[in-house]
Structure 1
Amino acid sequence: MRAEPLSAETRREALDAMAGTSPEDPLDILIVGGGVVGAAAAFDAATRGLRVGLVESQDLAQGTSSRSSKLVHGGLRYLQMLDFKLVAEALRERDLLLKHTAPHLVRALPFVFPFEKRVVDRAFIGSGVSLYDAMSMRPGEKRPVPFHRHLSRTRLRQRFAGLDHEKFIGALEYYDAQVDDARLVMTLARSAHSLGAQIATRTEVIEYLRAEAPDVDDADQAAAEDAPVQGVTVRDKETGRRLEIHARETILAAGVWTGRQQEAADVPSGLKVLASKGIHITVPKDRIAADDHVGVITQTEKSVLFIIPMGNYWSIGTTDTAWHEDVDTPAPTSEDIDYVLEHANAVLEADLSREDVIGSWAGLRPLLQPMETDESKSSKVSREHTVMQLSPGLSAVAGGKLTTYRVMAEDIISFALGDRQVHRESLTHAMPLLGAQGYSEWESRAPEIARDYGWSDETVDRLLNRYGALLAELLALVDQDADLGEEVPDSGGHLRVEFVYAARAEGALHVEDLLERRTRVFHEVPDRGLRAMETVVELVAPILAWDEETVAREKAAFTGVVEAHLAAERSSSDAEAAGLVSAATPEYLPG
């Protein structure tokens, strides 16, 4: 698979190509939603040789899929629920990512689970993690992560000095994995595009197209409402242009937006998805003493507390609270941040305060609600996700979690194809994502790259973890212009070339795309990227053809986003936080 760029130009080409479809010449599959499941579904369909399109109303991964705990894991808590099948599936997917499909993006991460009760905790937690390890074993295959081990109080102090060692008498150390979720989504979308899928972000669905129904009386109205869906009408949010896209099968992969899309499609019944908010904060690396690459997990009364190393900072979360506001604008409140700090300080030696918080994010988990299975709609239900036919030609997938995205994508594409899937098997279990092939060779060259380009070992390791073998494309740009190898001031160590490459090849269209998702500067520096913005705009303006008016609009838009999020962190309620963020949401349409 040759890496093809995603760019403003390829977006225009995708919209033109999809506008050229017709009822007689439709796409095979059109996917609505550019989160991890939608991007993965596009990749899955493309590996089957199908004609595929994907539209997303915002940026890739702008919703839930860039606001997770950024973990790829089996789910220890599901063992407590005795859901062994789900844990086994998630562990299988974790190991597949680590070993084959995305070893450059997904990396093993050890966690310590501290004990307060010497006998009870070691017996209870130890037996659960032993089962966890056993479920990931496969005959004839080498494990991608080590087995768990028990730590004495002394060894725990050496491993994670920043814990409150008066409270904990030891720990268990086990392995899962972590990923930059937004980059995973972008890589999935770009991998799909490289196989021929048409990808268009900032493209909003405003209507679902149905086959013309004959004139009917009221008694036959239900039959008319079930006329097959044949595609969608969309609005290009960059230009205002409206166009029709025709498809044999349309798939909703909209997460917490599922209900909104079902209403737009005017389907009488469908999936019921509620939203639960989880928040994370970031604090500087030097505020918590520990080995460079080890995290902490412990339970709280409402959720799970993770303390996760992420380069030059720590991520701490999460919460689990019902969300009743607009799903477009989740944000942490003051109470949320205080809750996380309180629970972190309960296990840490350091006393973290609000002054230590350099970033935060809130994500909405799509929680499927129980429903009666209608066999006529051919629904398929699992413990974590559901695929369902909403109307002829229109199917949906919802629920699940980041780790099992590939299974969800394969399920919904196979389900939508139905009998037409003969000789069109999914290849996503075997096909690596872009950047994975040749990654080990590039990894072995890390010392040489650091020496030749004057970068630290940490910088090269970070680049390999972001790009894998695609690092060759960035090095080629630096070879043409050595200045691109320099750091952007106040960006937390990101290089100029990373922003140039994001605009040229990773589908970034706006400053917030660059600073919040293609990189995570928004969460990594105290000013949320405002000072770095000046240099970033200078770098990408020529690539994205921004004139002076557009530059001023981009700067004002990102400044407004930062100020709104900072204000939300001081707010007293979800409604207030959502209102602040909503008011600052940019409208990029010229004029």
Structure 2
Amino acid sequence: MKQIFRPRNLLFATAILGGGLFSVNAILKSKHNLYEESGNSLLKAFDRKALFEHQATEQLGLPRDSDGQVILHTDRAENMKILENQSPENEFDVIIVGGGSVGASAALDACTRGMRVVVLERNDFASGTSSRATKMAHGGVRYLEKAVMNLDWNELMLVYECLRERKHFFQVAPHLSSPLKLLTPCYSLYDSLRMYIGLTLYDLLSGSEARLGYSGWVSKAASLQLWPSLKKEGLYGCMSYVDGVFNDSRVNISTILTANALGALTLNYMDVVDLIKSDENKKIVGVKVRDRINGKEYSIKGKCVVNATGPFVDQLRKMDDPNCIPIISPSTGTHITLDLDKFTSGIGKKMGVLFPKTSDGRVLYLVPWEGKLIAGTTDTPTTLTERPTPTSTDIEFILSTMRTCLTVPLSTADITSSWTGIRPLVKPVAVAFESTKTLSRDHHIETSSSNLITVAGGKWTSFRKIGEDTIDTVISVRPDLVGLLAKPISRTYYTPLIGASYQWEAIKNIKQSPSANVSDDSWEHLKHFYGDRAPYIVEISEKNGLTQRLSSKYPYIEGEVLYQAKHEMAVKPSDIIAYRLSLMFVDRNESKQVAKRIVEIMGDYHQWNDDMRRTQLEETLSYIDACTK
């Protein structure tokens, strides 16, 4: 018992529960007061219908047609025409380079403040790190342990911020996110008490406003009933707690679409090839870009340029200043996808599992997602590449870790897909090398002498706050913008994404498909992916004879392909398979099987000839092979 109740531990708990939590609550109250002073009376209770009515009076509501559908200008060809028709001297307030979670969030934040915004993404939106997360909207139990053990106030504040931002997911994208109960197996009395204390602190840090549910003890018998595949020998029981799960690429795409509906010009497959600088003071006044689809080049002028290119931020920083010191320490995080039925059944399929310690000092998450089970992750230093591929070593590490924790026999044959993403971890400039798992997951914003604003690092859960901080920095760099803005203070904490209007409250409770040609499970899938736009997708599917399933194994329907090409800026079949449907991350073999039909539907819409269709199919299959195993 002396090992458990060390004086240092008691001092730590007292510090956090006392001064730490009082300080955190004071910060929360002051932040809320700031919003209330700005005129937003909707902070105390999130009412989606009232919010949309409130936004409409402020001219911040999303533009809608007579049927209530959001008006989207999201066919890429249409967006390119807008760019081509711009006067060469027409200046954007902010040019955002990068269309991942950070770039999308910054674009939405800027639009809600009244800025003129253009987003330039080199590949497809969400095609990098932002689609390769663990799919968890979480406060960071592991970061809390690090804060406690190292007396690290910054890590504690990171956990607090993530807990507050976690709530944001469920407010603005309720169709794409949901609470998830996790079991944490305990195999000793020490583990049991350590997890009890840690998760109690986690509950307290959440506070009544951001808490999703309370942690609690689950007996050994109940734990094995929920997850029969847990290793039984030595099991005391499990601590349970509640975090969140979400669809990362769909949230990313929806954020881009929402920014677009509010006036942003959003362009994928646009490569920034140079920065335009003023002859007078060498400040950046624009960018030169190349369209990766047709090879044309354009010059785009802007008051400010934001570098939100994730792990590739150093490339744009080098373009600005060839002598700059790199700030990114890239690390790969690999995940594998398996059949959930192999591990649990019934109510257990709605629960995840967290194993708090792996052989490399990380945690292992088992997360139910899109009807499958995701297991991960690794933390391996790497070099940069646009298409990171999971290594056999990382895959075997995850499998071997699972074998030590579970009784189910596992091999690579059980994996339906695997993928890896590159974390843009920010390293201290003075440190030549540091183990990537010790680097902070907090975000970093810097401004160069030429006014290039670079944002790096951060976690998916905090993406909204990172976008807010980025645009606050834009305003600090260009204070002349303040007088031009409709709303100089961020509005995004209570700005619902596309699909999450007040109509969603009624649509989500419709259990039966509105069409005899669309199955009930496909209808549930459409609601989950598109929110209040689900009825519209059923409508266009019926109108175009596209109500059939793409795959007999999964609920996706053919009409989604047309919708995504027409309204979600999908340019290539891989954009749909990977970042609109997420099928590449669910089942790589099935994604290959549906590729031909997706090419046919996109080919009909874009009027591709036979050679183009063959090329697109070959490139799609090659892309799937390059990104997954």
Structure 1 length as normaliser, TM-score?
A: 0.87
Residue 399 of structure 1: aligned partner: 457
Secondary structure of the residue aligned to 2:405 is: coil
Match of 2:493 among 429, 434, 442: 429
Residue 543 of structure 2: aligned partner: 480
Cα contact 1:491–1:525 (8 A) shared by 2: no
Question: Matched residues in 1 for 2:211 and 2:560: separation?
Answer: 29
Cα contact 2:229–2:408 (8 A) shared by 1: yes
Question: Matched residues in 2 for 1:44 and 1:453: separation?
Answer: 40
Match of 2:372 among 283, 288, 313: 313
The question of 1:538 aligning with 2:600 is answered yes
The question of 1:416 aligning with 2:474 is answered yes
Residue 64 of structure 1: aligned partner: 129
After the TM superposition, which residues 210-229 of structure 1 pair with which residues of structure 2 at under 5 Å, given as runs? 210-213=277-280, 227-229=282-284
Question: Matched residues in 1 for 2:73 and 2:621: separation?
Answer: 28
Cα contact 2:113–2:491 (8 A) shared by 1: yes
Q: How far has the Cα of 1:358 moved from its partner?
A: 1.2
Residue 258 of structure 2: aligned partner: 191
Secondary structure of the residue aligned to 1:161 is: coil
Distance 1:257 1:177, change over 3 A: same
Q: How far has the Cα of 1:144 moved from its partner?
A: 6.0
Secondary structure of the residue aligned to 1:411 is: helix
The question of 1:440 aligning with 2:505 is answered yes
Secondary structure of the residue aligned to 1:283 is: strand
The question of 1:469 aligning with 2:532 is answered yes
Give the number of aligned pairs: 535
The question of 1:45 aligning with 2:110 is answered yes
Q: How far has the Cα of 1:528 moved from its partner?
A: 4.8
Question: Matched residues in 2 for 1:451 and 1:115: separation?
Answer: 48
After TM superposition, the structure 1 stretch with the greater mean CA deviation from structure 2, 301-310 or 357-366, is 301-310
Q: How far has the Cα of 1:484 moved from its partner?
A: 2.2
Question: Matched residues in 1 for 2:515 and 2:84: separation?
Answer: 45
The question of 1:455 aligning with 2:516 is answered no
After the TM superposition, which residues 480-499 of structure 1 pair with which residues of structure 2 at under 5 Å, given as runs? 480-481=543-544, 483-489=545-551, 492-499=554-561
Cα contact 1:270–1:390 (8 A) shared by 2: no
Question: Matched residues in 2 for 1:398 and 1:134: separation?
Answer: 29
Cα contact 1:105–1:179 (8 A) shared by 2: yes
Match of 2:207 among 129, 137, 141: 137
Question: Matched residues in 2 for 1:393 and 1:484: separation?
Answer: 49
Cα contact 1:283–1:314 (8 A) shared by 2: yes
Residue 153 of structure 1: aligned partner: 220
Cα RMSD of the aligned pairs, angstroms, is 2.0
Cα contact 1:491–1:521 (8 A) shared by 2: no
Cα contact 1:267–1:391 (8 A) shared by 2: no
Q: Deviations over 1:258-291 (max 9, x none)?
A: 1111112235436611101000011122222242
Secondary structure of the residue aligned to 1:332 is: coil
Structure 2 length as normaliser, TM-score?
A: 0.82
Q: How far has the Cα of 1:94 moved from its partner?
A: 0.4
After the TM superposition, which residues 372-387 of structure 1 pair with which residues of structure 2 at under 5 Å, given as runs? 384-387=442-445
Secondary structure of the residue aligned to 1:540 is: helix
Secondary structure of the residue aligned to 2:538 is: helix
Gaps of at least 5 residues in structure 2 are 1-61, 64-69, 148-154, 431-439
Gaps of at least 5 residues in structure 1 are 214-225, 373-381, 570-591
The question of 1:11 aligning with 2:79 is answered yes
Q: Deviations over 1:327-375 (max 9, x none)?
A: 3131111111111110111112211101111111100111111137xxx
Question: Matched residues in 1 for 2:540 and 2:111: separation?
Answer: 29
Question: Matched residues in 2 for 1:182 and 1:502: separation?
Answer: 13
- Quick one: which amino acid aligns to residue 197 of structure 2? S
Cα contact 2:551–2:590 (8 A) shared by 1: no
- Quick one: which amino acid aligns to residue 268 of structure 2? T
Distance 1:177 1:464, change over 3 A: same
Residue 293 of structure 1: aligned partner: 350
Cα contact 1:209–1:230 (8 A) shared by 2: yes
Residue 360 of structure 1: aligned partner: 418
Secondary structure of the residue aligned to 1:81 is: helix
Secondary structure of the residue aligned to 1:504 is: helix
Residue 320 of structure 2: aligned partner: 265
Residue 555 of structure 1: aligned partner: 617
Cα contact 1:341–1:353 (8 A) shared by 2: yes
Give aligned-pair identity as a percent: 28
Question: Matched residues in 1 for 2:568 and 2:473: separation?
Answer: 30
Match of 1:92 among 161, 164, 167: 164
Distance 1:8 1:454, change over 3 A: closer
Question: Matched residues in 1 for 2:259 and 2:311: separation?
Answer: 23
The question of 1:114 aligning with 2:185 is answered yes
Distance 1:249 1:352, change over 3 A: same
Q: How far has the Cα of 1:454 moved from its partner?
A: 5.0
Cα contact 2:340–2:349 (8 A) shared by 1: no
Distance 1:178 1:39, change over 3 A: same
Q: How far has the Cα of 1:317 moved from its partner?
A: 0.7
Secondary structure of the residue aligned to 1:541 is: helix
Cα contact 2:172–2:500 (8 A) shared by 1: yes
Q: How far has the Cα of 1:451 moved from its partner?
A: 7.6
Secondary structure of the residue aligned to 1:137 is: helix
Secondary structure of the residue aligned to 1:234 is: strand
- Quick one: which amino acid aligns to residue 77 of structure 1? R
Question: Matched residues in 2 for 1:296 and 1:511: separation?
Answer: 34
Residue 505 of structure 1: aligned partner: 567
Q: Deviations over 1:286-340 (max 9, x none)?
A: 222242211111121222111111233211111001002x331311111111111
